[in-house]
């Protein structure tokens, strides 16, 4: 069996916290999420992907992949996989 290591890639990520809704009823989402194929549905952020609708629940991370695709990631997986980039 051959082993492989994931290439180091810098991604953009945002933690979905629907309880942080602003006074005007808007969610403080970065533009790259607003411009993606997403919709807020209650406390969930629904992300429309080629694989179907994926849901981000409160506390999940939204990741922008290397080709601009969006997908949710559970906090424990995010913490095990990613670290902050200084700069």
Domain assignment present for residue 37? The answer is: yes
Listed in sequence order, the residues at least 6 apart from 15 whose beta carbon sits closer than 8 Å to its beta carbon are 59, 60, 61, 62, 75
Q: How far is it, in rounded angstroms, from Cα 18 to Cα 40?
A: 9
pLDDT at 6 over 90: no
- Looking at 1-87, list the stretches that DSSP marks H as alpha helix, in order from N- to C-terminal side: 31-34, 75-81
pLDDT at 13 over 80: yes
Domain assignment present for residue 28? The answer is: yes
Range of the domain at 28: 12-81
Q: Tell me, what's the pLDDT at 7?
A: 83
Q: Residues 61-87: pLDDT tens digits?
A: 999 998 999 999 999 999 999 999 886
- Highest mean pLDDT of the ranges 2-11, 19-28, 65-74: 65-74
Domain assignment present for residue 4? The answer is: no
Q: Tell me, what's the pLDDT at 24?
A: 77
Number of domains in the chain: 1
Domain assignment present for residue 5? The answer is: no
């Amino acid at each position: 069996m051959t082993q492989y290591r994931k290439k180091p890639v810098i991604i953009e990520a945002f933690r979905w916290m629907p309880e942080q809704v602003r006074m005007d009823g808007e969610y403080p989402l970065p533009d790259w999420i607003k411009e993606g194929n997403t919709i807020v549905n209650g406390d969930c952020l629904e992300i429309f992907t080629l694989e179907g609708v994926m849901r981000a629940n409160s506390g999940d991370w939204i990741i922008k992949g290397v080709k601009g695709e969006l997908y949710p990631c559970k906090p424990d997986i995010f913490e095990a996989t990613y670290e902050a980039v200084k700069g």
